[in-house]
C-alpha cells in the first residue's frame, strides 16, 4: 500500500511540475483575454491516472501564483482546471471525451475571472469564444495528440496508478 501511495504522490508532483514549467516557458501565450496554455494539454492525463487530478490543480495554482495572477484568478482558474480534471477522470471510459471537461470548465469560468477580476472590458460571450478557442487548441488538439502518444506507453508510465 505504501508503494501505491508513493507512486500516486510522485506522479502528481511530476505532472504538477511539468504544468508549471510549460506555463512559465510559454507565459506570454498563457495569460490574458486570448490565451493558449500549452500546459492545458496535460488535462487529458486523468484519463490515465487519478494522480493527475491533484497534480494539475496544484500545478495550475502554482503557475498562476508564479505568473503574477490576481488571487481571484489563482483560486478560480485553478478550480476550473480541477473541475476539468475530475470530469475527465470520470469520463475516462470514452477516450475522445478526455479534453471536453477542461475545455468546458475553462471556457465558462475564465471569462468571468477576466471580466470581474481583471476588469477586462470585453463582452463575456466574446471572451468565452476566445478562451474556448485557446482551450480547443491546447486541450483538444495538443491534448489529444499527447493522449494518442502516451496511449502506447500507458502500461509503462501509469502502471499501478489506476483507481
Question: What pLDDT, on a 0 to 100 scale, did the predictor assign at position 33?
Answer: 61
Name the more confident of 3 and 18: 18
Q: For position 1, what pLDDT does the model report?
A: 47
Which of 12-31 are b and which e, b meaning 16 or more Cβ less than 10 Å from the residue's Cβ?
A: beebbebbbebbeebeeebb
Q: How confident is the model at residue 105 (pLDDT cuts 50, 70, 90)?
A: very high
Domain boundaries, the chain: 2-157
106-116 burial, b for 16+ CB within 10 Å, e for fewer?
A: bbebbbebbbe
Asked if the model's pLDDT at residue 91 lies above 60, the reply is yes
Q: Which CATH number fits domain 2-157: 3.40.50.300, 3.40.50.1980, 3.40.190.10, 1.10.1760.20?
A: 1.10.1760.20
Q: What is the pLDDT of residue 158?
A: 78
Average pLDDT estimate for 128-142: 94
Average pLDDT for the chain: 90
| Torsion sign, CA atoms 53, 132, 41, 71 | negative
Residue 31 has a pLDDT of 60
Average pLDDT over residues 52-66: 96
pLDDT of residue 85: 97
Amino acid at each position: 500500500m505504501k508503494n501505491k501511495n508513493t507512486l500516486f504522490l510522485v506522479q502528481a508532483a511530476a505532472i504538477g511540475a511539468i504544468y508549471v514549467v510549460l506555463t512559465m516557458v510559454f507565459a506570454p501565450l498563457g495569460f490574458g483575454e486570448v490565451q493558449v496554455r500549452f500546459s492545458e494539454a496535460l488535462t487529458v492525463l486523468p484519463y490515465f491516472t487519478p494522480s493527475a487530478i491533484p497534480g494539475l490543480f496544484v500545478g495550475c495554482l502554482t503557475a498562476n501564483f508564479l505568473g503574477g495572477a490576481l488571487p481571484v484568478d489563482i483560486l478560480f482558474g485553478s478550480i476550473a482546471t480541477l473541475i476539468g480534471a475530475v470530469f475527465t477522470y470520470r469520463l475516462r471510459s470514452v477516450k475522445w471525451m478526455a479534453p471536453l471537461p477542461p475545455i468546458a470548465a475553462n471556457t465558462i469560468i475564465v471569462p468571468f475571472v477576466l471580466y470581474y477580476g481583471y476588469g477586462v472590458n470585453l463582452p463575456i460571450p466574446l471572451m468565452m469564444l476566445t478562451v474556448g478557442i485557446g482551450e480547443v487548441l491546447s486541450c483538444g488538439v495538443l491534448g489529444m495528440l499527447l493522449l494518442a502518444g502516451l496511449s502506447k506507453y500507458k502500461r509503462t508510465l501509469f502502471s499501478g496508478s489506476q483507481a
